[in-house]
Structure 1
Amino acid sequence: MSFVQLTSLRTVLNSSFRNVLQLNIPSLNAGFQVRERHTKHWDPKFKKLRRLKVQKVKLPNFQEETDGTKMTPDQMRARMKEQGLLPPRSWMERPLIISATGGTFEPYVPPEGDGKLSALSLGGAKQSLELLSKKSKSTLAVRKIRSFDDDFSPKEFPEEAQKIYINAHKALAEKDYDTLHQCATELSFPLMTQDLRSCTVRWQFLKSFEPPRVVHVRCTDVINKENVFAQVTVRFNTQQTLAVYDRFGRLIYGSEVVAKDVLEYVVFEKHMANIYGTWRIHEKIIPDWMPQREPGKKTFIQPKEVETVPATDSVVPATPSDKSAAVA
């Protein structure tokens, strides 16, 4: 056999052997070298299932101490670290978010006869003098608010407060609680909705007799000096209509036709330390000299009369015996 024949035979054998390896080891077709064990299956399709065939189960050790009172602190710490448990605490922490205060601090005291006395009369002149004497604290509070909000103005705020006031009462009448949450604080929301869950409200804002004005401004801090809350009391003298219907559609308060004059002192609050804080209705101040409102007529379901069937006597009268007859 010549040298040329031996070379061609060697080339044929190498190519056939390489084809056999490529069929059995697919990583050779990728063009890069991969180290593979001969005991590993070439198709990793069911690799996870093959691994899960055998699972390690941690058996309990019945000889170890389980009573925590008999264990040393080091043993207890090692045991809890092994089990991934946190050490117990003698007190429980609860997340607390203070987005509104629990009341009105330094509430405004409305002068008696407000809205009825003229500014030219003696009582009206006294009221104006009292407002000037109480204006110093409000001025300091306005400066405190402007340190957080540069655009705050006591002259422009009443217009914004009136919009919040109207939107809140419209949302209350329509039972739009999402909008009402944006216009009322967590203190006033339950007070506004607790008696109207089973009622229908028809409310309408007609006009303002006087432009709303700011009569009282106060600021306070909670927990630390940087957590500041501001409260602004706005006086509204408006004309409105209000009608409340019960769950049966009967009118229990007010009227949709008769308009009433309403004098209100509404407190608006804002969390000044919160960048995204907004002005919301916090409370209404009702002075002692203001006449009480008429209570609403409550209605109830009339209970159905239950027909009572007279009970029949099912006992058979006893027949008189001979002895009883003889005695008779």
Structure 2
Amino acid sequence: MTTILIFLFTALAFLLNPSESRLSLDFYRQSCPQFSKIIQDTVTNKQITSPTTAAATLRLFLHDCLPNGCDASVLVSSTAFNRAERDHEINLSLPGDGFDVVVRAKTALELACPNTVSCADILAAATRDLVVMLGGPYYNVYLGRRDSRISKSSLIDGHLPKPAMPMSQIIEIFSSKGFTVEEMVALSGAHTIGFSHCKEFTSDIYNYSKSFQYDPQYNPRFAQGLQKACADYRNNPTLSVFNDIMTPNKFDNVYFQNLPKGLGLLKSDHGLFTDPRTRPFVEKFAADEKSFFQAFSQAMQKLSLVGVQTGRRGEIRHRCDQIN
């Protein structure tokens, strides 16, 4: 009787959760055996010529997966009849290098194995390989996603954290997707690479209050340096600063070590250290890079499975920026 119940429970779980059950590590072993090599070659060439690619792709992946699942919906361009996700205000600052590396990989894969590999799988695998290239941890990426047939800007609101959000609101966004506070802090460690535009934090470094020129949570010398770096931000909105000023091109735990020193760039960075719910994990990851890498790997693998579409629920786009 027990054996029968176990069999029935397993079968029911398979039926209720087809998304993950149809994914596998070697999904393209027969249909596109060159998949991994093409991804690796593409990201290597792109990262060498454009060193901001890794951070851009990681951010693109997070912005794709958090709102409605890892379905490449953020890659779709708007049309006269539809305002797509990438044109939502929060996505307008997504760097072009992330989109470009996916397009390059898709072009190469279409030549090698036409109409076989989804844009969602390309983005997930490219992100992992780029993180590893910068010294970050390797983690398994299950494959077999399909691309979404829908991309609407109106579906983004409330699903992505903003730099000035209170920590409670950021925690709630991740919690609604099934992530713990520790996993949220680990994913925030993505700020160990990449940059933020000055306009994201100018309210914190210029005329902060009647008492302070800048937010007192900043290290004074750092705040003064930011004021100089961003001085022309009104005339030049592309001005930006590295999220981790110490090791901006290396995936490590220095981002967390910066926060207690007042070297966090965004209000949300400061919040990770000042909020009693997140501070213990900041201190944990700052003290032990291995612990951060392990938590980040697990959180990224979990994120890569959120809202995945498989089989007939999605499609394999011919072009990543257009729904078939």
TM range (shorter): under 0.3
Q: What TM-score results when the alignment is normalised by the length of structure 2?
A: 0.21
Structure number with higher helix proportion: 2
Between structure 1 and structure 2, the one with the greater Rg is 1
Structure number with higher strand proportion: 1
